[in-house]
A and B are shown apart, each in its own frame.
Chain A
């Protein structure tokens, strides 16, 4: 009985710990990424964004990506990779009107992906 109670406490502590770390890591990673993307969007809107600005966003994403692979479905990471590469290509060519929708999609994704982890009925069911 004592052993069972101890194993319940340990397993519950593990689950709660993992859940808390996951929420913290995913939320902070995407909050920072969103800030970088918003600043990139503003610059692209004013036609002053450079390819290096895009590279800075990509560098941040690459840093966080390996950690996020543990928590996110890999298809979601692939989608961000795809949109970011396209946005970077347009910035390199100076095609700001084409880059803006791509950055907007990335901003939306950086909001929606962490939202999918919230304890809401629509996520549970």
Chain B
């Protein structure tokens, strides 16, 4: 049983480290250690239950070991704030008043489309609709909207450039060519589109773009009619 206890501890710690390394993408509404427990406790209960050649005590001791580890992590969470940040992680502010924080996104193995998707799930369709957006340590998404954001959301923005590359399908939606957008970028002091982190455009001609490491910029083009 001592072996089972040690082996359970090793597997628990390994899974916890892996979950933390995988970032917030893998977690949903649970703390990393809670997800680890959910992943392993079902098997711990099932295998000795269905395989009669394994003594039931193996499963019972392993489950009690998991309970012990859970309580230890809870105690760390409550008592040592620094250790809590290591075990459970801390919130990541991925969008602030300067725009998207690319480094924070990468740290959590996320990209711009994941952020846009999370924003849409939270009811914000434009990147400039919120002042702050963050992924909590349990992987859930929170955003602080701008006061007048609802008036801004009159058309669905689409990603036209991501990491310096044009999305050809979305370009066709705009009924304009690459040159048009490159000219808009040049006029707004963005000489090298390859340095662009993201460029979105909505049906009214509102362009949102951000260069890597710089503040975002919003340009409103006077399109004759709303395209979508």
Taking Cβ atoms with an 8 Å cutoff, the residues of A that contact B are 1, 4-5, 7-8, 11-12, 14-15, 18-19, 22-23, 69-75, 117, 119, 123-124
Contacts and interface: CB of A to CB of B under 8 A. Distances in A.
Contacts of A75: 53
Interface residues of B, number: 23
Interface string B62-82: 001101100110110011000
A23 B61 CA distance: 14
A15 B2 CA distance: 8
B1 A1 contact: no
Given A11-B68, A119-B6, A124-B10, A4 B53 contact: no
Given A4-B75, A70-B57, 7 more contacts: A4-B74, A11-B68, A15-B68, A18-B1, A18-B57, A119-B3, A119-B6
Chain A binding surface, main DSSP class: helix
A11 B71 contact: yes
Contacts of A4: 71, 74-75, 78
B55 A74 contact: yes
Contacts, number: 60
Interface in B38-60: 52-55, 57
Interface string B130-151: 0000000000000000000000
Contact of A12 (B10, B52, B68): B68
A70 B53 CA distance: 11
Given A11-B71, A14-B64, A19 B55 contact: no
Nearest to A124: B6
A73 B55 contact: yes
Contact of A11 (B3, B7, B55, B67): B67
B5 interface: yes
A5 B55 CA distance: 30
B226 to A, nearest CB: 58
A72 B55 contact: yes
A13 to B, nearest CB: 10
A15 B64 contact: yes
Contacts of B5: 15, 19
B2 A70 contact: no
A47 to B, nearest CB: 38
Contact of A73 (B54, B61, B74): B54
Nearest to A14: B64
Nearest to A76: B53
Contacts of A8: 68, 71-72, 75
A117 B55 CA distance: 14
